[in-house]
Structure 1
Amino acid sequence: MASYHIRQYEEKDHKRVVELFSQGMKELIPAAVRQMLALPHSLLLLPGVPVTIVLVSGSWLLATVYSLLFLLCLCLIFWISCRNFVARSLQADLADITKAYLNAHGSFWVAESGGQVVGMVGAQPVKDPPLGKKQMQLFRLSVSSQHRGQGIAKALVRTVLQFARDQGCSEVVLETGSVQHSALALYQAMGFQKTGQYFASITKRLIGLSILQFTYSLPFTWGRGCSEKY
């Protein structure tokens, strides 16, 4: 098992962090396509429509062409959605990680192995938490595909949990996509509890991409740094 260590983000890491984030998002496209194909209305379009085409026209070629075009359109839809999400992120918090995290009472860490950044995660105080709670939100967890299975993601999450404890937070919260199956399994195995689910838009509902919300409860401690609503 390759060794690694976790350290705080530095400006020299920005290019590699962006690469990790972008690649991680692209890897979700096949899972998103598979998830949509499992939806009831997708079953009407594939294989329902091809079967109808064969019954009506008797042409397997036409049915095959339709199926290939349908799958191609799905991949294109998710590719465009992924590209737009990455572009928005690179114009938001990932544009200036130091400002968005380190200078905002949060932090950002990278996992390094063999002199290369292979993982990352960020944390920010929740600005408007529920009454009487102090929360830290976990963001941008990602590990390169070549370095998964080594416990890096778990170590990055534990780094956020410890940071939240040190800041006197009572909870760590996060949101993740329904197609991020590995991340969902990791969070649940580490004790995060699902607290909600929603669709960001009607389009996302139609293609079956929901956002899941999770919470990890921390032992009560006194501290400063997280936002609190009195």
Structure 2
Amino acid sequence: MESLLTKARVPGTLALGSGSWPLATVCSLLTLLGLRLLDWLSSKYYVATCLETDLADITKSYLNAHGSCFWVAESGGQVVGTVAAQPVKDPPVGRKQLELFRLSVSSQHRGQGIAKALVRIVLQFARDQAHSDVVLETSTVQYSAVALYQAMAFQKTGEHFVSIPMGLGGLSILHFTHSLPFAVEPGM
């Protein structure tokens, strides 16, 4: 939330230059509302896109694809979380990378360690498959996801803006990498 509050201060500060507290307050609130609306719209678009692409056929996208996998977390017979992983097609020279996708936990089950458990499963899968890194992308508005990845030793390795309007709003895509210790094969 700190990021949204920081963004709301800019128009508020500009409006304060006019000497009007009500104008500053209204500008800050409108900015926060606009950013929340933008976040909501981008989330809706993202979910719709996912449901029309790889999540439309999980078996084909993840379970039948070599080196890929898809996991679910269940509670009371209901799916409450998901995560997927696929090998990176063109990793940097000398690296074997696995990309983490589709980490999601239902809002009613957040804060229970489900996301952390799902990420640990992907990290173990990557170790078992002798990957050197697990990589992922997330947006700056996914505050809890960014905090989770940082707490689990993922390092921010890049950032880009999807579009000019998103960039002007301060919304960007973050790239993270979790380097895994190389497994030493027996007899070496």
* Alignment match, 1:171: 133
Cα shift at 1:193: 1.6
Match of 1:15 in 2: none
Check 1:70–1:147 CA distance in 2 against 1; reply closer, same or farther (3 A cut). Answer: closer
| Corresponding residue of 2:181 | 219
137-146 or 63-72, which moves further after superposition?
63-72
Counterpart residue type for residue 99 of structure 1: K
Amino acid at match of 1:156: L
Bigger radius of gyration:
1
- Cα separation, 2, equivalents of 1:165 and 1:63: 52
AA at the equivalent of 2:41: I
Which structure has the higher relative contact order (CA within 8 Å, separation 6+)? 1
Question: Cα gap change, 1:121/1:54 in structure 2, threshold over 3 Å: closer, same or farther?
Answer: same
Q: How many Å separate the matches in 2 of 1:161 and 1:63?
A: 46
**RMSD of the alignment, in Å?**
2.8
| 2:104 counterpart residue number | 142
Matched, 1:124 2:86: yes
Note if 1:45 corresponds to 2:26.
no
Q: Percent identity?
A: 64
Q: Does residue 91 in structure 1 map to residue 59 in structure 2?
A: no
The Cα of 1:66 is off from its aligned counterpart by: 6.9
Please give the residue correspondences for 1:179-190 in structure 2 after superposition, counting only pairs within 5 Å: 179-190=141-152
CA–CA separation in structure 1 for the residues paired with 2:26 and 2:110? 37
Question: Is the Cα–Cα contact under 8 Å of residues 36 and 208 in structure 1 kept in the other structure?
Answer: no
169 and 114 in structure 1: CA distance in 2 versus 1, 3 angstrom threshold: same
Relative to 1, partners in 2 of residues 1:63 and 1:210: Cα closer, same or farther, differing over 3 Å? Answer: closer
Mapped pair 1:108 → 2:70 = yes
Other-structure match for 1:26? none
Change (3 A) 1:218 1:67: closer
CA distance in 1, matches of 2:27, 2:154: 43
Gapped regions of structure 2 (runs ≥ 5): none
> Is 2:164 the partner of 1:202?
yes
Moved more, 207-216 or 145-154: 145-154
Q: Could you say if the C-alpha distance between residues 76 and 147 of structure 1 is closer, same or farther in structure 2, counting changes exceeding 3 Å?
A: closer
Q: 1:47 to 1:131 in 2, by over 3 A?
A: same
The DSSP-based 3-state class of the residue aligned with 2:176 is strand
Q: Which amino acid aligns with 2:63?
A: L
Letter in 2 for 1:45: P
Q: Deviation per CA, 1:150-189, whole angstroms, max 9, x where unpaired?
A: 2211111111111112222111111111122222222222
